[in-house]
Amino acid sequence: MSVFRPPRASDVRPAVNSSSLTGKNLIFSPVFAGKVIFLQFLFGEYTTDVKISLEFNELENYINDFTNSIVIADNNTASIAEKFNKKYKLPHCILESGEENKNWSSVEKILSCAHNANLGRDGLFIAFGGGVIGDLSGFAASIYKRGCRFILISTTLLGMVDASVGGKTGFDFLEIKNLAGTFYPAEKVFIPLDTLSTLPQVEWKSGMAELIKTAVLCEDDVLFNMILENIESLKEYKSANKELLLNLVEKAVSFKGSIVSEDPKETGTKRVLLNLGHTFGHALESACGLGNISHGEAVAWGMVRSCELGCALGITPKERANKIIGLIKAFNYNCASPYPLAKEASTLLNAMKNDKKNKNNALRFIVPDAKGARSVNIESEKDLNTIISILKGEITL
């Protein structure tokens, strides 16, 4: 059983033109310039610059060299990409949207577009979208001529607070989520919050689950309380205070960046904690059929199951578990077990056996503890029976 204490949300403080060197990882503190925030992270050998802005029109002030480039989007983000590309007329690749299209066929389309545009290894992929587009475009960039440049314009809440930073790329294969993939961080990430105005409610809610996950992982309650105190306004984009949203996104990106900087390829004990709720959640997505429920909905359900597991193992204090579950329920996620679309515990358990986090054939879960979270390996028959009981809804809080 490994334990890692994540940093506190309050540790990430705004600073102007300041930086600190932690080991080999240079992490620049957030630089606030009006309603625009700049961050920089070093993920292993890769540097990622991040710009968070209230407005999409800040993009051209951030990226100034569009030669030798292609634009990548899906049917949901094509109109956003066109706002940018109508000036530059770059070759473009428009993919079908949704998790069900996160496959090799989509990767082939990106590679073909790059090849037809005569992009060299110094070519640039400019992707507009959320987690799916980011994963597909980043993967394609990592293998095109053994690696070309990659910039991501994140347009979904889930992408902004989680998927856009850290370099995990890939696609689903054999009905297993992200079975194939690489670590390939974008060189630049642009996060324009006004693109959320056209985001479907189900996707807003999906991203909110990842934001709650980050809040649970923080050692202090600063981010958690910010969400807790603004539940009603954060239930949809149009009612959210935009400066509050800017602050929430910055804290989530800063937190994830600090974790990934210390463990870029998830070989240690730190980055794996970002998978809180994901062992249960990914299994639920697979069991329901990839694309039939949102990733965030599955993660929210998974976090509730993780709280139940943590309590059953004597790791998660019941008071903290109830506080976490209470916040999740306040956003109206389906928290019931068994889940209506995946009632067979055996199906979910089999899906968990394919999880990438598993080691030495032991199921690996992330559960909350008194502050933050920790990783636990489930090997004994007794603990496996506990998992089955949780999936059946026989253990609840």
pLDDT digits (tens, 9 = 90+) for 218-239: 988 999 999 999 999 999 999 9
151 near 129, Cβ under 8 Å?
A: no
Asked if 78 and 178 sit in the same domain, the reply is yes
Please check whether residue 132 lies inside any domain of the structure. yes
For residues 59 and 160, state if they share a domain: yes
Helix (H, G, I), strand (E, B) or coil at 371: coil
CATH of the domain at 205: 3.40.50.1970
Same domain, 310 and 383: yes
Copy the structure tokens of residue 355: 């999880």
In terms of domains, do 210 and 286 share one?
Answer: no
In a domain, 288, yes or no: yes
Q: How many domains does the chain have?
A: 2
Radius of gyration of the chain (CA): 20
- Encode pLDDT of 83-141 as tens digits: 999 989 999 999 999 999 999 999 999 999 999 999 999 999 999 999 999 999 999 99
DSSP state string for 277-333:
THHHHHHHHHHH-TTSS-HHHHHHHHHHHHHHHHHHTT-S-HHHHHHHHHHHHHTT-
CA distance 94 to 305: 37
Q: Do 212 and 281 lie in a common domain?
A: no
Q: Which domain holds residue 376?
A: 276-391
Say yes or no: 209 and 309 in one domain: no
* Residue 361, domain CATH: 1.20.1090.10
Q: Calculate the average pLDDT of the chain.
A: 91
Kindly state whether residue 237 falls inside one of the protein's structural domains: no
Residue after which a domain boundary falls, among 181, 199, 216? 216
Same domain, 210 and 356: no
Same domain, 126 and 50: yes
Residues 35 and 152 in one domain: yes
- The DSSP 8-state label assigned to residue 96 in this structure reads P
352-366 burial, b if ≥16 CB within 10 A, otherwise e?
beebbbbeeeebbbb
Angle between helices 345-352 and 278-288 (to 10 degrees): 120
Higher pLDDT residue, 274 or 397? Answer: 274
Last residue of a domain, one of 216, 234, 267: 216
- What does the chain come to in residues? 397
Residue at a domain's end among 216, 244, 262: 216
pLDDT-above-70 percentage for the chain: 92
Query: Do 182 and 305 fall within a single domain?
Result: no
Maximal CA-CA distance, the chain: 62
